[in-house]
Structure formats: structure tokens, C-alpha cells
Amino acid sequence: MRKILFSLPFFVLAAPLAAQTDGQTNGAIVLPDFDAPTPPAEAALGGLAERLSDPATQDEIAATVSVLSEILLDLPLAPLIEPLAEATADVADLPRRPVDPDLTLRRMSPRAGEVAQRMARDLPRTMDRMADASDGIAALIPALRDAFLQIEERVEGSLPRE
């Protein structure tokens, strides 16, 4: 059950991303065009590094994470826990324990608010590290591409011809 509760923040953070629109579709969800040509990986990672290291973007994302975390801490958990408690009691053939209808993550763990504050505080530094990592990966891609081509040539050269 802890895994479910701890994965809940990721679902809450992913929901706004899934609901983004392009402004021209009257509120409809717009999925990426997977058939469109992809930009070179180096260029895509370079742009990502710039966005991740931008202080304004970092502040905006940190504020969003902070607000979403606070909301998540105060969401009632009974609708999630009730079915799990019922199923567990049925499987274990035990009497079902009542679930507090006012239960929230904040009530379960009063220090959870500290985690939300620390996440918002540390997020810019984490984003800087991610930007640095994406720069390193972008620099590594040509070498990986060359290595892959060499492996492909050697494998094709070692196969028997028909």
C-alpha cells in the first residue's frame, strides 16, 4: 500500500502534462505527432539543458511542485484505501478494519510537509544536475552512434553470404 501512496504524487504531477493543449483545439488533449521527423538527439538534449538550467523555469516548476505537493498532502485517502482494505480483508479472511474517512497523507505522517518543502527547495539544484547530465549525454551520442555503426558493419561482415 505504501508503494501506491508514494507513487500518487507522480500521477498528480503527470496529470497536468497529459491535459496540455495547443490552444487551437478548443480544450482537446493533443498527443505528440509520433510520425513527425525527430530532431537530432544532440539538438533535443541541448534545448533541454537550456530549459532545465533556466532560473525562471526552475522557479516556476518548484512553485508548481510545492502547490501540488500541498494539495496532495490534504487529499482524502479513504476512497483509495477503502477498496484495498476490503480486498485485503477478503483475501486474508479477516474482519475488515474501519478506515478513517478524514485520513490524509499529512495526518498519516505529520512531517510529510517537510518533504514537500524540501522537494521544492532542492528542485532547482536537481534540474541543474539534469541539465549537466543532458549535456554529457548529448556529447556522448555521436560516439555511441559511431560505435553502433562499427558493430553493425562487423556483424554484417561476419554473417555468411547467401
pLDDT at 142: 82
pLDDT at 98: 83
pLDDT at 120: 83
pLDDT at 22: 47
Q: State in Å, rounded, how far the first CA of the chain is from the last one.
A: 57
Whether residue 81 is contained in a domain is answered as yes
**Cα 96 to Cα 87: distance, rounded to the nearest angstrom:** 9
**Grid coordinates belonging to 98:** 474501519
Whether residue 15 is contained in a domain is answered as no
Whether residue 49 is contained in a domain is answered as yes
pLDDT at 21: 46
Please state the domain count of the chain: 1
Whether residue 77 is contained in a domain is answered as yes
Helix ranges, the chain (H): 2-18, 41-53, 55-73, 78-92, 105-108, 112-158
Distances (CA, A) of 144 to 69, 137, 152, 155: 39, 10, 12, 16
Residue by residue, pLDDT tens for the chain (162 residues) are: 555 555 555 555 554 555 444 455 555 555 555 566 555 666 666 677 788 888 898 888 888 888 888 898 999 998 888 888 888 877 777 777 788 889 998 898 888 888 888 888 898 898 888 888 887 787 788 888 888 888 888 888 776 766
Whether residue 117 is contained in a domain is answered as yes
Range of the domain at 95: 41-150
